[in-house]
Amino acid sequence: MENNSIIPKEFWHNRRLCVTGGAGFLGSFVVEKLKERGAQDIFIPRKSQYDLVNIEAVKQLLSDAKPDIIIHLAAQVGGIGANRDHPAEFFYNNLMMGTTLFHESWKAGVKKLVIAGTVCAYPKFASVPFKEDDLWNGYPEETNAPYGLAKKMLLVQSHTYRQQYGFNSIFLLPVNLYGPRDNFDLESSHVIPALIRKCIEAKANNQPEIIAWGDGSPTREFLYVEDAAEGIILASEKLNSSQPVNLGSHFEISIKELVETIAELTGFTGKIIWDTSKPNGQPRRKLDTSLSKQLFGFEAKTSFKIGLKKTIDWYKNHQNSKLLANS
C-alpha cells in the first residue's frame, strides 16, 4: 500500500464520473472524497430529473453524463418499519434501478460500475462473523428480505456480465451506516437516527420515557459514513473482480447497549420501554472484514462513540438551524 497516496490522483485524473445517490446521505460524502482526490467531472443525477426505475431515464442519464465510471448508491432504503410496510416497493424499485442501470451501462461502454449492495443480503442465521462465502447459505431476515434480495441480484449480474461480456463491475456489502446528514424521519429512518431523535426530543419536552422496538437483544455492527465512503473509493480504485466484499467496522453492539449509549450521550435520563410487539429483525450482525483489508487496504478509522457524538452534534446543530430559519 506504499503508493496509496499516488494512486488516487492517477486513477481519477480526467475520468468522467457519475454517482447515483450523490446528493444523499452516503453519496454526499463519497462526492466530497472524490473531489479531495482530484476528481473534477462528477455528474450527480437527481431523482426529479432521472427516475432510475424508468429505463428511458437511465438511458437519458447515460447519454447526458457519458461516464467512464459509475458509483451506484441510489436506493430506496429505510428501517425495519419502512421495509415491513413497503416490501413490494423496496423490492421492485431497488431491483429495477440496479439491473436496468447495470445493463444499460454495459451497452453504453461504461468502463467500471461500482455497486453498493447491503448487509441485508446475508442469510438470517448466517455464521457470525458473516463471511462473503456465506451469502447463499440461506434466506435473508424476513422484514428486509425484499430489499436484500433485490440488491443481491446485482451480484449475480456482476458475475454473469463479467463472464459473458468482460464487463468490469464490483459489488460491495456495507454494514449498517450512521453519521451526519442521515435520515432522521421517524417513519423511515434506521435505528441510530431514530433513537437520537427520540432521546433529544424526550429530553427537550421533559418526557419520562422513550419507546424502543423489540426486546434489545439483537446485535448490530455499524460503520461511520465517512469510513464507508473511503472504503467505496478505495474499492473503486483497486478492486477489479466480481467477488463480493464486506465493508464494516468489526464492532458489534446489542440494541439494548446502543439505546443506553445514545441516552447517555444525549443526556436523556428517563425510562426505556421495550415494545416487544415490534420485530427485532436479524438476531446478530457482524461482518468478517478481512477481505477488504487484504484486497484494497480498507480499515474503519472512526470509533463508535466518536462517530455517535459527531452524529448527535450534527443533528442538534441541524435542528437549531431549522428552528432559527423558521423563527
CA-CA distances (angstroms) from residue 274 to 79, 210, 277? 17, 9, 9
Q: Among residues 50, 122, 147, 224, which one is catalytic?
A: 147
Q: Is the Cβ–Cβ distance between 132 and 243 less than 8 Å? A: yes
Rounded to 5 degrees, what are φ and ψ at 240? Answer: -140, 50
CA-CA distances (angstroms) from residue 222 to 14, 210, 247? 34, 22, 10
**Distance between CA atoms of 312 and 321, rounded to whole angstroms?**
14
Q: Which ranges of the chain does DSSP label H, i.e. alpha helix?
A: 7-12, 25-36, 55-65, 80-85, 87-108, 145-165, 191-204, 225-238, 255-266, 290-296, 304-326
Please state, as a whole number, how many other Cβ atoms lie within 10 Å of the Cβ of residue 297: 14
User: Residue 315: which of 181, 192, 176 has the closest Cα?
Assistant: 181
Verify whether residue 147 is a known catalytic residue: yes
- What burial class does residue 9 get, using C-beta atoms within 10 Å of its C-beta: 0-12 exposed, 13-18 middle, 19+ buried? exposed
Q: All 3 cell numbers of residue 114?
A: 461500482
**Distance between CA atoms of 313 and 177, rounded to whole angstroms?**
17
User: Residue 85: which of 151, 144, 23, 160 has the closest Cα?
Assistant: 144
Q: Tell me which residues are annotated as active site.
A: 147
